[in-house]
Chain A
């Protein structure tokens, strides 16, 4: 069934006694989702991971944490997982809390289990925030390009953001006079455009200002141009440059990875929208007077999400691995703070002496990614009108 209108159940017969139980959209989707067992497993694993990660922030920080990720015990280096500590060589506060090295130790004798806990929050957030940013930007831009493709950009549309940005830069650098002037000019142009746009038809534009309304190129071309520019830069190189310039904080890395990986999603969404736009259900919705935004987000996006979900799942693993590569090159979260990425990259030199340094974080990433994949597929089945089996 295409087009949804779940609030209408079967009409009650005269007498009004027989009424099907009313469910909200969310409840209905949720019960459908619940039926998919694998998807539920995915979700549960997910939630567990997040709880552990959040708890770990407390368990591993402070001067004398419960699980100490930074405690160096050189004599216990490279012990395998589940190894018993050599109690004679350790001071009492150095003995691991669980009595054994659950995931082994790294090359400085630090407990890998504690380090994995410390890294959990950071690595999970890197993955999800980066991919989240990428998906949001990608879907948004791709959708606009696909749907509004033919709309023309006018001179004023370009001019006003340029003026605004120029003004802000001016203000930041201390040229308050010029800065303020540019900002006001930019706002003025924007207002003009707004007025004209809102009161279509009839209003006469003052002579000189008509230049602001000259059509340039289409929205589609603009957004494709933007995508192309971003695609031209090998993303790792971009990430490397920016990370080298900005202070090495985990948030900067997340944002940068997100800002450089939205292009794939955008292209997919745009392509799907271009074909969906001509389909009957869209024409029908427009004829019914449904607003543009609603058409885009309520009706078209769910149809276009399939490839985006796949790339999102892959993107999470990718983001965590990029963080590993960055810490391998020395950027990324500064030591001694552990992330799954830097445990992994340290493990490269010890691949034969201590393979668990690669396996443990690798499997952790694998489980997260699998969980998200199952969850995502369940979500897609629920949301995708084409796949739904409604009674």
Chain B
């Protein structure tokens, strides 16, 4: 076990290094200059362009830029090119905004997928099963912005309450009302984010339950005369849950993600929008830092995932 951990750790660190190099190369190979340097803006003479390039070290050889960038990143000094603010500060600020959305979204997704997917498997072929199948694929096929608009219009015209932004504009910031206001504003975007997740996850749940339900030991349990509930929820479910335990680890990278579309529609100042705008503006320090942090999270996530899998399934020998 320990040997596995040790090897895994070393391998993850090497992977991190490769990721940092590859992402660095990709950014610099993509066409386009940082938007401070906009060649079609007549106010920018050749000289100003040169000076900008020098300040961003863009005239130095790639490996030197790589070294400079990661040195700044690891000492916390790297600064955004768009507005000269420290990158880590910016990311942290947006992260705090995205965090509640992420937590709520994940909570809703995971608590709702199982009650939806399990009965579908148990009652395979029934009206319930077919309806949920249809709805799930409907949610997957029609783009998210459509539902977002429909929901917003519905709530606003029926209930006349604001839904966009993190809080109601102009509300004083204290007390229970403030807290509940924040929860309300979290609700709609989380539901939208979770909707897709529920659709997908419930499909997996159903598929896993189906597999497990057809196993011999389940048949035996039924034959033994155990009540249906016990058969499904005590015996079948526990085994079907195995792969999902490992999926837990993979939730981690979602912390630094965020749907750009949902954040734009709801004016939510989150990580997704920041990363997207950074890409458009070619704000290299921000892009690379976000990438780096998300890589770390992915690696931790998969590590936990593998660990859990080994712990939970006795059949596995790594």
Closest B-chain residue to A364, C-beta based?
A: B141
* Cβ-defined contact, A271 with B246, below 8 A: yes
A358 touches B279 (CB 8 A): no
Q: Are B134 and A370 in contact (CB under 8 A)?
A: yes
How far, in whole Å, are A377 and B315 apart by their CA atoms in the complex? 27
- Nearest CB of chain B from residue A11's CB, rounded to whole Å: 27
Residues of A within 8 A of B223 (CB): none
**Interface flag for A252 (CB, 8 Å):** no
CB atoms of A307 and B298 under 8 A apart: no
A314 touches B200 (CB 8 A): yes
Contact in complex: A366, B137 (CB < 8 Å) = yes
Q: How far is the CB of A279 from chain B (nearest CB, A)?
A: 7
Q: B146 on the interface (CB 8 Å rule)?
A: yes
CB distance from B33 to the nearest CB of A (A): 14
Decide if B142 is an interface residue (CB 8 Å cutoff).
Answer: yes
Residue of A nearest to B18 (CB): A229
B38 at interface by CB-CB < 8 Å:
no
Residue B171 interfacial (CB < 8 Å): no
Q: How far is the CA of A384 from the CA of B257 in the complex (A)?
A: 36
Complex contact B313–A370 (CB within 8 A): no
CB-based contact B30/A245 at 8 Å: yes
What residues of chain A lie closer than 8 Å to B141, measured between beta carbons? 317, 321, 362-363, 365-366, 369
Q: Is the CB of A233 within 8 A of B243?
A: no
Once the chains bind, are B143 and A237 in contact (CB under 8 Å)? no
Q: Which residues of B contact A233 (CB under 8 A)?
A: 19, 22-23, 291
Q: Mark B131-156, 1 if CB is under 8 A from A, else 0.
A: 00110011011110110010000000
A220 at the interface (CB under 8 A from B): yes
Evaluate contact between B279 and A306: CB separation under 8 angstroms: no
A228: contacting residue among B15, B145, B207, B294, CB under 8 A: B15
> How far in angstroms is the closest Cβ of chain A from B287?
9
B30 and A244 form a contact (CB under 8 A): yes
Residues in B7-66 with C-beta less than 8 Å from chain A: 7-8, 11-12, 14-15, 18-19, 22-23, 26, 29-31
B110 at the A/B interface (Cβ < 8 Å)? no
Whether A234 is near chain B, meaning CB under 8 Å from some CB there, is yes
Q: Within 8 Å of chain B (Cβ to Cβ): is A78?
A: no
Known pairs A237-B279, A366-B137; A278 contacts B316 (CB<8 A): yes
- For the complex, is B190 an interface residue (Cβ under 8 Å from A)? no
B318 within 8 A of A: yes
Would you call A271 and B243 a contact (CB within 8 A)? yes
Q: Which of B143, B200, B318 contacts A324 (CB 8 A)?
A: B143
Q: Which residues of A contact B317 (CB under 8 A)?
A: 274, 277-278
A268: which B residues are within 8 A, CB to CB?
Answer: 243
Q: A361-375 toward B: CB 8 Å interface, digit per residue (1/0)?
A: 011011001100100
Residues of chain B within 8 A (CB-CB) of A237 are: 275, 279
Closest chain A residue to B296, Cβ basis? A232
User: Chain B at the A interface: mostly helix, strand, loop or mixed?
Assistant: helix
A334 CA to B142 CA, complexed, in Å: 23
Binary contact readout A256-284 vs B (1 if CB under 8 angstroms, 0 otherwise): 00000000000010010011011100000
Q: What does the 1/0 interface line of B257-272 toward A look like (CB < 8 Å)?
A: 1000000000000000
Instruction: State whether B138 touches A231 (Cβ < 8 A).
Output: no
B11/A307 in contact, CB under 8 A? no
A154 interface contact, C-beta 8 A: no
Question: Distance (Å) between the CB of B93 and the closest chain A CB?
Answer: 20
Bound together, the chains give a CA A358 to CA B150 distance in angstroms of 12
Chain A residue total in the interface (Cβ 8 A): 50
CB–CB A386/B137 < 8 A: no
Q: How far is the CB of A201 from chain B (nearest CB, A)?
A: 26
Known: A232-B19, A387-B214. A225 touches B11 (CB 8 A): yes
Of A224, A232, A358, A369, the residue contacting B140 (CB under 8 A) is A369
B19: chain A residues at CB < 8 Å are 228-229, 232-233
A366 contacts B14, CB within 8 Å?
no
Q: Which of A232, A310, A366 has the most CB of B within 10 A?
A: A232
User: What are the residues of chain B within 8 A of A238 when measuring CB–CB?
Assistant: 26
Query: Which A residues from 203 to 259 make CB contacts under 8 A with B?
Result: 217, 220-221, 224-225, 227-229, 231-234, 237-238, 240-241, 244-245
Of B11, B211, B315, the contact of A275 (CB 8 Å cutoff)? B315
Complex Cα gap A363–B142 (Å): 8
Chain A residues with Cβ below 8 Å from B273 are none
The interface residues of chain B lying within 8 Å CB-to-CB of A221 are 7-8, 11
A351–chain B nearest beta-carbon distance, Å: 6
- Asked if A122 CB lies within 8 Å of chain B CBs, one says no
Contacts of B215 in A (CB 8 A): 386
Interface check B299, CB cutoff 8 A: yes
Given A228-B302, A229-B19, A278-B316, verify A318-B11 contact (CB < 8 Å).
no
**Interchain CB contact under 8 A, B207 and A306:** yes
Contact of A241 among B30, B208, B318 (CB under 8 A): B30
Given A225-B15, A278-B315: A307 in contact with B243 (beta carbons within 8 A) = yes
Nearest CB in chain A to that of B199: its residue: A314
Q: Is A348 interfacial (CB-CB < 8 Å)?
A: yes
Cβ-defined partner of B207 (8 Å) among A217, A277, A307: A307
* B294 engages A318 (CB within 8 Å): no
Pick from A231, A278, A362 the residue with the most CB of B within 10 Å: A231
| Nearest opposing residue in chain B for A2, CB measure | B216
Nearest CB on B from A388, distance (A): 9
**Contact indicator A362/B142 (Cβ below 8 Å):** yes
- Chain A residues whose CB sits within 8 angstroms of the CB of B200 once the complex forms: 314
6 nearest A-B residue pairs (beta carbon): A232-B295, A366-B141, A362-B142, A365-B141, A275-B315, A232-B19
Contacts A229-B18, A275-B316 supplied; 15 other A-B pairs, CB < 8 Å: A217-B11, A221-B7, A225-B15, A225-B18, A228-B19, A232-B15, A233-B19, A234-B275, A245-B31, A309-B207, A310-B203, A313-B203, A362-B142, A369-B137, A386-B214
Binding site for A on B (CB under 8 A): 7-8, 11-12, 14-15, 18-19, 22-23, 26, 29-31, 133-134, 137-138, 140-143, 145-146, 149, 200, 203-204, 207-208, 210-211, 214-215, 243, 246, 253, 257, 275, 279, 291, 294-295, 298-299, 302, 306, 309, 313, 315-318
